[in-house]
Structure 1
Amino acid sequence: MARDDGYLLDNRRSEAGTRFEALSALFDDSTFRHFEAAGIREGWRCWEAGAGGPDVPARLARRVGPAGRVLATDIDVSWTETAAAQGVEVLRHDVALDEPPTGPFDLVHARLVLVHVADRGAALRSMVRALRPGGVLLIEDADPAMQPLICPDEHGPEQELANRLRGAFRELLRQRGADLAYGRKLPRLLREAGLAEVGADAYFPVASPQCDVLEAATVRQVRDRLVAAGLATDEEIDRHLASVEAGRLDLATSPMISAWGRRPPGP
């Protein structure tokens, strides 16, 4: 993802590993369902853009086998490097600023990347250029504006506080240029980029222990910024974390929009 000194969820923070593990548990099966629908098989060449954690690249490498290729890129590859031992190539790369890596690729995938990138259009064009004719691009991004509540069942003060803090987190994202309605735009953007056979769907859990893990790690990671911006107090954050860790909240995620398209054959 594009480098941004104001990026809230910096991979260098200790909470990043916890977040990657929770996101993997929540969304990897859905992601790989889309890979299978795209026809992935042994020998495919795959680029995982803005990989973040190691789980998707490592699982991709097992799926395509020794005859295939998996390249994992990010501007911070500190968490991804553990996948190198599992046959994954790792490259430090800014998807919006750098030329696409040497391909072409049968599959290019980015999850929770473009919503945070300042020049999303340039990043998308770069990924399209990296596809072989007939290759598949799968972009998965959240759409917090479509379902803004972390507690859809707001039946008490704990749930109200959780939703208010989630709104504060979204405000910090907005201030840093995140497009909180980006997910719903993906089908149109893939068509405008020249891809064919475009489709999309959405998935989000509405209650899961991993949602609790993800929320606690996220709040801890942005705590200082929330307080500094006057969007929350330390007491409110402590109270919310206690509710999360006690398991009293049914926490949801924002809808994950998965959109796919195929580069048409030809020059």
Structure 2
Amino acid sequence: MMRIDGYLLDHRQSDAGQRFDALAALFDPTTFRHLERLGIGSGWRCWEVGAGGMSVVSWLAKRAGPTGRVVATDLDTSWAPPVVRPPIQLRVHDVGADEPPGEGFDLVHARLVLAHVPDRDRALRSMVRALRPGGRLLVEDADPTLQPLACPDEHGPEQQLANRVRHTMRDVLAEGGTDAAYGRRLPRLLREAGLRQVGADAYFPLTSPACGALESETVGQVREQLVASGLVTDQDIDRHLANVAAGGMDLITAPLISAWGRKA
């Protein structure tokens, strides 16, 4: 999916599984709704770019059925279950550097991937090239600059601290190469790539237990870099994580932009 060296949210970290679970709880319903609208069915050949926690891969496999094919790729597959059964094929792959893992796909999908890929333009071209004529592409990425706050209702010190941590996290990820404004450009990029019937929407929950879980796991994964920035201290992070665990804040995520199109 993404480069590991220098990528702060490394799949190999011990708590990556909890982060995958939180992302699935928050965003799988939206992703599945878009995939259903694109018409996925029995026999489809699918490429899932950035297999993540496998929830989307498993859903695609059920829809494609025994006559279909689901190629799931990622830079690191050490988190995958020990046995992966057809129609799923799991491969180590760098979408920003390697050739596509096949061609003639009916569907190519990536969620929360391309904004972190150094050569994201090449990655998008590769995904489009892998589609058959008439094949569908669905790309989903967050856009923290559209809504940069963790707590829009900043009515107390807990919410103020949460927003300070979120701002720092965005700066740290940007220094690591993440494009925090990538999501908003997706419709234009899909049109420029030659896709037709392009559409897009955005989703973000205003509050959810999974928002708190995602916040805790993400902050924990980048804690060292947050402190190194000099903008927050270890004590700030301890206090913020305690506030999150207490469950009294309405935490939200950055908007997830979903953009889709069809190859001519």
Shorter chain as normaliser: what TM range?
over 0.9
Query: Does structure 1 conserve the Cα–Cα contact (< 8 Å) formed by 2:4 and 2:10?
Result: no
Query: Does structure 1 conserve the Cα–Cα contact (< 8 Å) formed by 2:205 and 2:252?
Result: yes
Q: What SS class does the counterpart of residue 198 from structure 2 fall into?
A: strand
Distance of aligned partners of 1:258 and 1:82 in 2 relative to their CA distance in 1, 3 Å threshold? farther
Separation (CA, whole Å) in 2 of partners of 1:103 and 1:81 = 26
Separation (CA, whole Å) in 2 of partners of 1:88 and 1:13 = 24
Alignment partner, residue 178 of structure 1: 178
1:135 CA displacement: 0.3
Q: Does residue 84 of structure 2 align to residue 72 of structure 1?
A: no
Q: What SS class does the counterpart of residue 91 from structure 1 fall into?
A: strand
1:80 CA displacement: 3.3
Alignment partner, residue 209 of structure 2: 209
Separation (CA, whole Å) in 1 of partners of 2:192 and 2:7 = 28
1:4 CA displacement: 4.6
Percent identity, aligned pairs only? 65
- Aligned 1:9-48 pairs, distance under 5 A: 9-48=9-48
Distance of aligned partners of 1:233 and 1:83 in 2 relative to their CA distance in 1, 3 Å threshold? farther
Separation (CA, whole Å) in 2 of partners of 1:217 and 1:38 = 32
1:82 CA displacement: 5.1
Separation (CA, whole Å) in 2 of partners of 1:225 and 1:179 = 17
Separation (CA, whole Å) in 1 of partners of 2:44 and 2:87 = 13
Query: Does structure 2 conserve the Cα–Cα contact (< 8 Å) formed by 1:57 and 1:88?
Result: yes
Separation (CA, whole Å) in 1 of partners of 2:139 and 2:100 = 16
- Aligned 1:51-66 pairs, distance under 5 A: 51-66=51-66
Alignment partner, residue 50 of structure 2: 50
Query: Does structure 2 conserve the Cα–Cα contact (< 8 Å) formed by 1:141 and 1:258?
Result: yes
Q: What SS class does the counterpart of residue 144 from structure 1 fall into?
A: coil
TM-score relative to the length of structure 1: 0.96
Query: Does structure 2 conserve the Cα–Cα contact (< 8 Å) formed by 1:57 and 1:72?
Result: yes
Alignment partner, residue 137 of structure 1: 137
Deviations 1:85-129 (A, max 9, x none): 464110000001000011210000000000101111000000000
1:229 CA displacement: 2.2
Structure 1 segments (4+ residues) deviating >2 Å: 79-83
Gaps of 5+ in 2: none
- Aligned 1:160-239 pairs, distance under 5 A: 160-239=160-239
Aligned pairs, how many? Answer: 264
Separation (CA, whole Å) in 2 of partners of 1:82 and 1:140 = 28
Alignment root-mean-square deviation, CA: 1.1
